[in-house]
Amino acid sequence: MKKEPPAATSPTTDARRIADQLKSVIEQSKERPLPKPASTEAAESIDEKLALFHTAALHSELISEQVFTRAVDIAKRRLKAGGSDGPVDAEAVAAALIQSGVITSYQAQQLRSGRSKLTLGPYLITDWIGQGGMGQVFKAVHRVMGRECAVKVLPLEKSTEESRASFMREIRLQAGLDHPQLVRAFDAGRDGNVHYLVTEYVPGTDLRKYVRRHGPLPVHQAASIISQAARGLQYAHELGLIHRDVKPGNILVTPDGVAKVSDVGLAAWSMGIHEDPRAGKIVGTADYLSPEQIRSPLMIGPASDIYSLGCTTYYVVTGKVPFPGGDSRSKCRRHCEQTPWHPRKFAPELPEEFVDAIADMMEKDPERRVASAADVADRLEPFARISDAAIDPPIRRQAWTAPPPPMENGVDEDHVGLDGRSGPNVEEDSVAGSASAESQGSTDTPPPVPGGDAAIDAADPMVGNSLSSLQTAPRPSHTLAIAITLALAVPVSLLIGAVLGFLAHEYWQF
């Protein structure tokens, strides 16, 4: 049986079929646009970050619309001067605002993250100083008086009944202190659920950071700083206060060489120590604890601060803590039972009389220690007025005949508190350089101001208006690109027939 040949199709039918296919392809291209180029996605990301920065800046009331626009223009000019025609990003605008003195680097970082809360009561937060066991410390300025200060904040996550009692106690203690060698308290307040203490801002750094950066101090400089700290402690002792956490990190030094003792809020009333919320616990840092602080925390007196100041003096002239290595428990045991290496082992130029003063401050028996902080200052002040002439008498003090330190792993300054499983409870509440400009050397990301709202979301309705002004122009249709592609892939004669058929089809529809 013969097969019948397929019915012939006319050229017009073929043209109409191809035209229908072409129309279908065009419609599908409208529904599924081509993928965005990488450069377009990057530009949109920059726009979103800039919009977030813009919204937070206006919401903070630190920057007006006019100032922000001016900063954008400056950033654009700088890009063009550098030979770039790319879009302006939030980082470039922030740099313009910082260099103009409108905001600080810390404020710019917070605003770019969408955080607009930069105040605590009447104080405008300008920088982050450090983090301690009891609170965060920020640099701030009073919005009316314009005075720079340090603001210590009790974090919300640590706002327990006991921590609030300790914090309020610290506020009351510091409010009654007024001495040039103590960090003064100016104000205290509450912003929502956030409690804060305002103290004077001390430019400079603390002794611990200074020694780590520059090495041990020469005798005259160490004697000047320690004798000043001793005068401040004597003032506190005369008021019946014991600091309990004297250490290099709590002695701030200005560029002019003025020393101030910080974190006096850890102090305890020597006549009413049982009323302290931390009574019965070891409060301080293991490398500088006195033997009596470890053995009987309820029986400490001014002599305990003198021992800690002796350990501090040892550190600043040698660059070593008295008992390096080991954990907190080991350090506590060695404070009670052992003697450290002779300081001249590490600093041979130290005068023996100066070394004797350190030894008398670090006597294990409080009764044999230097009688008062004032006596410490009297013994050290003469060394602050002499040059560092090398003195090399023989090492003869039995106070320094120490056995080698145990072979235990550990850092020099131990800030890890002990719990009941490993030894006495060492409770710490200190910020190294709590009002120091250089105390923010931590690599941690500076935290936001407590009590603020969550970071502004660029997808929120309140940000919508800002985002709408920064949307990119609508992209052109992809029809032309598809037509060109088909022209290259389809034979010319067939394409001409398809186009003619498509036009005829459109004409017949009308």
Reply yes or no on whether 14 is catalytic.
Answer: no
Determine which of 165-174, 378-387, 465-474 has the lowest per-residue pLDDT on average.
465-474
**Token pair recorded at residue 32:** 């599924």
Which run of H or E residues covers position 188?
strand 185-191
| 423 φ/ψ sector (left φ>0, alpha ψ -120 to 50, else beta) | left
What pLDDT is stored for residue 6 in this prediction? 55
Distance of alpha carbon 6 from alpha carbon 265, whole angstroms: 102
Residue with tokens 């979103």: 48
What pLDDT is stored for residue 440 in this prediction? 40
Given the residues 245, 263, 305, 414, the one annotated as active site: 245
Residue 63 — very low, low, confident or very high, per pLDDT cuts 50/70/90?
very high
Residue 130: pLDDT over 90: no
Residue with tokens 């389809």: 490
- 258 within 8 A of 268, measured Cβ to Cβ: no
All residues at 6 or more sequence positions from 277 whose CB lies less than 8 Å from its CB, including other chains: 162, 165, 166, 169
CA distances for 466 relative to 45, 393, 458, 459, angstroms? 14, 75, 9, 11
Q: Of 321 and 398, which is predicted with more confidence?
A: 321
Residue 62 — very low, low, confident or very high, per pLDDT cuts 50/70/90?
very high
Report helix, strand or coil for 185: strand
Cα-only R_g, the chain: 36
The domain limits of the chain are: 38-116, 205-427
| pLDDT tens for each residue of 298-319 | 788 899 999 999 999 999 999 9
Name the residue among 315, 270, 285, 282 with its Cα closest to residue 423. Answer: 282
Distance of alpha carbon 315 from alpha carbon 308, whole angstroms: 11
Pairing outcome for strands 282-283 and 426-427:
parallel
Residue 266 — very low, low, confident or very high, per pLDDT cuts 50/70/90?
low
Report helix, strand or coil for 203: coil
Give helix 90-99 / helix 38-60 axis angle, nearest 10°. Answer: 40
All residues at 6 or more sequence positions from 436 whose CB lies less than 8 Å from its CB, including other chains: 129, 130, 202, 203, 204, 205, 206, 209, 252
All residues at 6 or more sequence positions from 357 whose CB lies less than 8 Å from its CB, including other chains: 313, 370, 376, 379, 380
Instruction: Determine whether domain 205-427 maps to CATH 1.10.510.10.
Output: yes
Q: What are 336's strand-pairing partners?
A: none
The answer on whether 152 is annotated among ligand-binding residues is yes
Residue 503: pLDDT over 80: no
- 28 within 8 A of 82, measured Cβ to Cβ: no
pLDDT, average across residues 29-42: 52
Distance of alpha carbon 105 from alpha carbon 112, whole angstroms: 11
Residue 170: pLDDT over 80: no
